Amino acid sequence: MRNVAIQILMMVMIGIASVTTIFADEQTDYDEAVRLSHLDDTESHLAAQAKFERFLADYPNSDKVPGALFMLGKLESNPNRAMSIYQKIVDRYPNSEYADDALFEVAQYHYSVGQYLTAIDQHRRVLETSKDINLLCRSQYWLASAEYATQQYTAALTDYQHVIDQYPNCEKTSWAMLGVARTQMRFGKFDQAELTYRQILQQYTDRGVLAAAFYGIGENAELGGRYDFALQSYERVLTDFPTSHEAALAREKVTQLKKTITVPPQSTPPPVTPHPAPVAPPPPATPDSTVPEKTIFTIQVGAFTDRLNAEKQMNHIREIGYSAEVIDRTAENSQTPFLVWVGQFETREEAKHVARRLLEDIPDISTFIRARSN
């Protein structure tokens, strides 16, 4: 009997040791995948992606599966596949700590492809279930932005204001104030909008926010018929924020306004700006001309087989404040002849800067900087 008892005890101890080893391996594999995902190079991200996929195959019943799926979604470069991963978390693990964040990402996917009504419903679900202050703030902001995109201006104004009142220290609060000002412009309340923009200039120091506010003041003045003041505001953007997204838009505005109004001569020369407003293109060169074409840069964000989808993406990008166009290259017999280009920039670095801003506004979009002749 004693020998039998000893054998049973040994088997139990071996079983405990095996389980302990499995849990140790599981934790080690997960931690290594997380470590790689936090590095900044593409090679590490690909390695992390492979490790998370292996983790899900090796430990399908682990309590870390929702976390592994969420990290995998973050690493996935294809927005459709990433959305499917996040949706799996929402559907299969609704009580996990990652469910609300995953639902937020699903909502942002629908926002990025112009499905604003779906995004509105999903952001409202996040607001009902989440207790994370930062997530609540961001979701409230994007809810308001989706309402603005669908011309629900009264609801948008209310929800932008809710961000300001309830989350004064949130990363999106300053952008919510910009949203309030834009919505006030939509209602034709130009005096209120200007006051809101000036309040932003007094309260915040983020250069991206300040550039947007100065541009907004110019746009507000232009809509109100104060063209001289609008021109000054746009030129302020070019002087103080030459590499901002708004600078690219302001250049176009300056060119348009200078054709509309007569600017009185200045008694003192204006400050030198790194990126002056572009002049009208010269006439076509004669055959013996040796002057090269000027190279400018643009951001390619899409390539489509049909014009309808290309124009859908273009309109979505324009709705959130960017200059976008569809380029038709059917004559080149391309498999994806309809390209969507954003902006025209004098330097590659300026284009890269705006591309980063574009990715913040539309997280699932793909950007590619390319040169074009002007």
Say how many C-beta atoms besides its own lie within 10 A of residue 170's C-beta.
19
Assigned token pair, 162: 């809710």
In a domain, 254, yes or no: no
Mean pLDDT of 112-131: 93
In a domain, 20, yes or no: no
In a domain, 305, yes or no: yes
Residues 6+ apart with CB under 8 A from 17: none
Domain of 349 in residue numbering reads as 295-373
In a domain, 353, yes or no: yes
Assigned token pair, 309: 């989808």
Q: Residue 113: what pLDDT?
A: 85
Sort 229 into a burial class: Cβ within 10 Å, 0-12 / 13-18 / 19+.
middle
Lowest mean pLDDT among 139-143, 208-212, 332-336: 332-336
How many domains, in total, are found in the chain?
Answer: 1
Within 13 Å, how many C-alpha atoms sit on residue 270's CB side?
15
Cβ atoms of 237 and 251 closer than 8 Å: no
Render pLDDT for 279-312 as a digit per residue (tens, 0 to 9): 344 444 444 444 445 678 888 888 777 788 888 8
Instruction: Evaluate the CA torsion angle 138, 139, 140, 141 in order and state its sign.
Output: positive
Render pLDDT for 9-59 as a digit per residue (tens, 0 to 9): 566 555 554 444 455 678 888 888 888 888 878 888 888 889 888 988 999
Give the integer Cα–Cα distance in Å for 244 and 275.
Answer: 11
In a domain, 306, yes or no: yes
In a domain, 93, yes or no: no
> Does residue 269 carry a pLDDT above 50?
no
Mean pLDDT of 322-350: 79
Q: Residue 288: what pLDDT?
A: 44
Helix (H, G, I), strand (E, B) or coil at 78: coil
Q: Residue 291: what pLDDT?
A: 42
In a domain, 328, yes or no: yes
Total count of residues recorded for the chain: 374
Cβ atoms of 342 and 354 closer than 8 Å: yes
Query: In this structure, what CATH number is given to the domain that contains residue 360?
Result: 3.30.70.1070
In a domain, 301, yes or no: yes
Give the integer Cα–Cα distance in Å for 99 and 89.
Answer: 6
Render pLDDT for 176-217 as a digit per residue (tens, 0 to 9): 999 999 999 988 899 999 999 999 999 999 999 999 999 999
Mean pLDDT of the chain: 82
Give the integer Cα–Cα distance in Å for 3 and 263.
Answer: 104
> Does residue 370 carry a pLDDT above 60?
yes
